[in-house]
Amino acid sequence: MLPSNLSLKIFRYLELRDWLNCAEVCSTWRAIIQSGTLWSQINFSVEKDWITEGKMKQILQNYRPFVIHLNLRGCTTLKGPSLKCISEYCTFNY
């Protein structure tokens, strides 16, 4: 097994969907993924064809304390409920 810090560096090259899949592989990977380190910048624009309102809500519920930057560019399928979810789970800095 790789050291956690090396695994984390590798995970940084993956997309959000891949992180969620990796978290299902083993408890060590799940702990690394769920540590919050990867979640400071969530890029939903790369996953715009995959992300649903339910998936977004689940991700924000689980990782909102770590989110600093949220990219929604091109996510045209997300509507009112998604925006409400963002307003409920995210703190904005102006």
Confidence of residue 76 (pLDDT cuts 50, 70, 90): confident
DSSP string covering 19-48: HHHHTTT-HHHHHHHHTSGGGGEEEGGGGT
Confidence of residue 92 (pLDDT cuts 50, 70, 90): low
pLDDT at 1: 78
Half-sphere exposure of 26 (CA within 13 A, CB side): 6
pLDDT at 29: 93
- Asked whether residue 10 is assigned to any structural domain, the reply reads yes
- Asked whether residue 83 is assigned to any structural domain, the reply reads yes
- Asked whether residue 37 is assigned to any structural domain, the reply reads yes
Confidence of residue 23 (pLDDT cuts 50, 70, 90): very high
For 25, the domain range is 4-89
Query: Structure pTM?
Result: 0.77
- Asked whether residue 94 is assigned to any structural domain, the reply reads no
Mean pLDDT for all residues in the chain: 87
Number of domains in the chain: 1
